[in-house]
Structure 1
Amino acid sequence: MPLEVVIVPCRTDNYAYLLRDEASGKVGLVDAPEAGPIIAALKERGWRLDLILLTHHHDDHVAGVPELRAAFGPEVVGPAAEARMPPLDRGVKEGEHVALGESVAEVLEVPGHTLGHIAYYFATAEALFSADSLMVMGCGRVFEGTLPQMWESLGKMAALPDATMVYSGHEYAESNVRFALSVDGANPALDARAAEIAALRGKGTPTVPASLGLERATNPFLRVADTGFKENLGLSGSPDAQVFAEVRRRKDAF
Structure 2
Amino acid sequence: MTDLDIVRIPAFTDNYIWLVHDPVSAETVVIDPGDATPVLAEAERRGWTIGQVWNTHWHADHTGGNAAIKAATGATISGPAAESAKIPTLDVPLEDGDTVRIGAHVAHVIAAPGHTAGHILFHLSDDATIFVGDTLFAMGCGRLFEGTPEQMFANMQRLAALPGETSVYCAHEYTQSNARFATVADPDNADIAARMRDVDTLRAAGEATVPTTIALERATNPFLRADSAGQLAARRAAKDSFRG
TM-score of Structure 1 vs Structure 2, range by shorter chain: over 0.9
RMSD: 1.0
In structure 1, what residue type is equivalent to 2:80?
A: P
Pairing partner for 2:129 from 123, 127, 145:
127
CA contact 2:27–2:51 (8 Å) conserved in 1: yes
Q: Deviations over 1:10-53 (max 9, x none)?
A: 11110000001132110001111101111111111011101100
Q: For residue 186 of structure 2, what is the aligned residue in structure 1?
A: 184
Moved more, 210-219 or 155-164: 155-164
Alpha-carbon distance between aligned partners in 2 of 1:135 and 1:183, rounded to the nearest angstrom: 16
SS at match of 2:223: helix
Q: For residue 116 of structure 1, what is the aligned residue in structure 2?
A: 118
In structure 1, what residue type is equivalent to 2:235?
A: V
Q: For residue 97 of structure 1, what is the aligned residue in structure 2?
A: 99
Q: For residue 247 of structure 1, what is the aligned residue in structure 2?
A: 235
SS at match of 2:86: coil
Q: For residue 139 of structure 1, what is the aligned residue in structure 2?
A: 141
SS at match of 1:141: coil
Alpha-carbon distance between aligned partners in 1 of 2:127 and 2:93, rounded to the nearest angstrom: 23
Q: For residue 5 of structure 2, what is the aligned residue in structure 1?
A: 4
SS at match of 1:124: helix
Alpha-carbon distance between aligned partners in 2 of 1:153 and 1:222, rounded to the nearest angstrom: 9
- After TM superposition, list the pairs within 5 Å mapping 1:36-55 onto structure 2: 36-55=37-56
CA contact 2:66–2:89 (8 Å) conserved in 1: no
- After TM superposition, list the pairs within 5 Å mapping 1:169-248 onto structure 2: 169-225=171-227, 240-248=228-236
In structure 1, what residue type is equivalent to 2:79?
A: G
Gaps of 5+ in 2: none
Q: Cα offset for 1:87?
A: 2.2
Gaps of 5+ in 1: 226-239
Name the TM-score, length of structure 2 as normaliser. Answer: 0.96
Alpha-carbon distance between aligned partners in 2 of 1:110 and 1:185, rounded to the nearest angstrom: 28
Pairing partner for 1:155 from 151, 154, 157:
157
Alpha-carbon distance between aligned partners in 2 of 1:63 and 1:224, rounded to the nearest angstrom: 33
Alpha-carbon distance between aligned partners in 1 of 2:112 and 2:8, rounded to the nearest angstrom: 22
Runs of 4+ in 1 over 6 A off after TM superposition: none
Q: How many residues are treated as equivalent by the alignment?
A: 240
Name the TM-score, length of structure 1 as normaliser. Answer: 0.92
